[in-house]
Amino acid sequence: MGELQNDLLTEKNSYSDEDIVHLEGLEAIRRRPGMYIGKLGDGSQADDGIYILLKETIDNSVDEFRMKFGNKIDIVMENNTLSVRDYGRGIPQGKIVDTVSQLHTGAKFDSKAFQKSVGLNGVGIKAVNALSSNFIVRSFRDSKVKEVRFERGILVEESNLTSTAEPNGTYVQFTPDNDPDIFGDFSIKDEYIHTMLRNYSYLHTGLTLAYNLQKFFSKNGLLDLLDENITTEPLYPIIHLKGEDIEIAFTHTNQYGEEYYSFVNGQHTSQGGTHQSAFKEVFAKTIREFYGKSMEFSDIRMGLVAAVSIAVEDPVFESQTKIKLGSPKISKDGVTILKFISDFVGKEVDNFLHKNSDVADVLLKKIQASERERKAIAAVTKTSRQKAQKINLHNKKLRDCRLHFNDTKADNKINTCIFITEGDSASGSITKTRDPSYQAVFSLRGKPLNTFGETKQIVYKNEEFNLLQAALNIEDGLDGLRYNRVVIATDADVDGMHIRLLLMTFFLQFFPDLVKKGHVYILQTPLFRVRNKKETFYCYSEEERNEAIKKLGANPEITRFKGLGEIDPDEFKAFIGRDMRLDKVTLRKEDAVADMLEFYMGQNTPSRQEFIVNNLNVDAE
């Protein structure tokens, strides 16, 4: 036994020449796709890698537009194959193979060819090539066209130059790889592509993006973006200011929290960064100096909805997916981003308020109202914080994970999630099954309080919500959010649905940006298990159950899961893994949050009574 242990130990600790591996071409991307596109996914979520591939392709075409070459991009999706055609200069044809297959090869290292570009590290389009089963590029330049074709990153065909009547530009066609180790059985959703293209249009006025014949175009830039995304009535008309390399738009609403949309070189930085932090600080400082009063920054920004876009030379992002800016300066030899934004906002916002006293009056009243409410809950807040410190949160409510969304240097933090469950049995099943490296569990005790119509004092007075807020770390906004996905995991019955509504009311009342930024989800769990001795199906609807019965034939065993606690922990692994079924909670302008909450969660109004009566599902029929 001792010799065997020694042999195993020697093998485990061996480190020789044979362990050194060199990956040719694009194999490095295929081996570690998460380093280049975040997570893989099956297309069911907006941050799945398939949409990153499309974004990387479009980024190159947008960069051509930013350099004033071509004002239209055609995007087509058919049978899970995507194509992007721009009308820019076209990839230099002698280097087309290297451009799409050799890592860290491209023109954007030299700012003479591409100033203030998004795709700077020469990786993006190579990742698209490496992770596609088929990849075709055509370059049209000066009445000549050249085409190259790859399969899973390997060159299979390179054409000679031929004559063409097509205008200059680049055409890229790719089919995401359905290999089980890459994207597997995926499905591309139009809704996520639509959102992506709308953002591109807001940031690039004058650019038309056509997707399967549907056109996306913006005349007013960030003004259009806020107008389309705001879900609460603004207290004053959206203020829209533009300068060289900077554009901002903002207004205030009566919603809690702050809501930001930030961009760098046309790239949506969904996690903010140095530019967003600078704007938040400078905006509050400018407003305080305008009124000449002692004001808390939190009061000034309460209810603020704002968008900021800047252009930066050689931007540095915190990851390949470019969702958080790390650059401290506008250019290598230029001023800091903080000073650049300070100079613009300090002057333009101050000028606007001096010229528009009606807006200044409305804003002052809003800030004063926020100050009064903050002071009213100050004593409650102090008491609740002291109470929270005494409670062992990790033992009482939260079973935490090791990796968090606000970990600055952690890989795969995009996968972090917290399951909000009700009851000891459901909490126990998920806790035993979860991956503790990135999945946390928060256990509710019974049904939470209906917070509709309450002030924010209730967040601190109610132990359940106070601890949930602390677990998420969102008291001061989303900058410290500890989990990328907040997953409501309740039973698929009437009580479970009620708990979902109560939690959603809480989030929409006090943390609407958590929902708007796409962090809140509903976990789908199976309603039925249909099995025989050879095969088992987990079914999420009666239709799936009936289909499973047909496949298994006579007399299968059918189990109806009444609650999460009834599902064996070993079975639960299939339902909360990386491929778990999630429904993202989304908000649109037409949802009218205040009216929606009043209807569903307010007093028992005649209109709601009428709705219930008219929509009863009478089984007897």
Query: What is the CB-side half-sphere exposure of residue 280 using CA atoms within 13 A?
Result: 25
Every domain of the chain with CATH number 3.40.50.670 lies at 378-525+572-614
Every domain of the chain with CATH number 3.30.565.10 lies at 27-216
Q: What is the pLDDT of residue 621?
A: 36
Cβ within 8 Å of residue 38, ≥6 positions away: 47, 49, 52, 319, 320, 321, 414
Q: Provide the CATH topology of domain 378-525+572-614.
A: Rossmann fold (3.40.50)
- Exposed / middle / buried, residue 559 (Cβ in 10 Å: 0-12, 13-18, 19+): middle
* One-letter amino acid for residue 454 of the chain: E
Q: How far is Cα 300 from Cα 370, in angstroms, rounded to an integer?
A: 8
* One-letter amino acid for residue 614 of the chain: N
Every domain of the chain with CATH number 3.30.230.10 lies at 222-371
Q: What is the pLDDT of residue 339?
A: 95
Rg of the chain over CA atoms, in angstroms?
27
Q: What is the pLDDT of residue 413?
A: 83
602 neighbors 452 (Cβ within 8 angstroms): yes
- DSSP label at 216? E
CATH architecture of the domain with residue range 222-371: 2-Layer Sandwich (3.30)
Token pair listed for 558: 């059918």
Q: What is the pLDDT of residue 462?
A: 87
455 neighbors 392 (Cβ within 8 angstroms): no
Q: What CATH number was assigned to the domain covering residues 27-216?
A: 3.30.565.10
Q: What is the pLDDT of residue 485?
A: 94
SS3 sequence, 425-465? HHHHHHHHHCCCCCEEEEEECCCCCCCCCCCCHHHHHCHHH
Q: How far is Cα 35 from Cα 49, in angstroms, rounded to an integer?
A: 11
Contacts 24+ apart (CB under 8 A), 360-365: 360/290, 362/235, 362/236, 362/252, 363/235, 363/236, 363/252, 363/287, 364/291
561 neighbors 526 (Cβ within 8 angstroms): yes
Q: How far is Cα 312 from Cα 306, in angstroms, rounded to an integer?
A: 20
Give the total residue count for the chain. 621
Q: Of 42, 33, 128, whose CA–CA distance to 578 is shortest?
A: 42
The model's pTM is: 0.80
Average pLDDT along the chain, 621 residues, taken 10 residues at a time:
54 52 65 78 83 92 91 95 96 91 61 50 79 96 96 93 96 94 90 92 94 94 94 95 95 94 88 93 97 95 96 79 82 87 97 97 97 85 59 68 84 86 83 93 88 86 88 88 94 84 92 91 90 90 92 90 79 81 81 69 67 54 36
Q: What is the pLDDT of residue 246?
A: 95
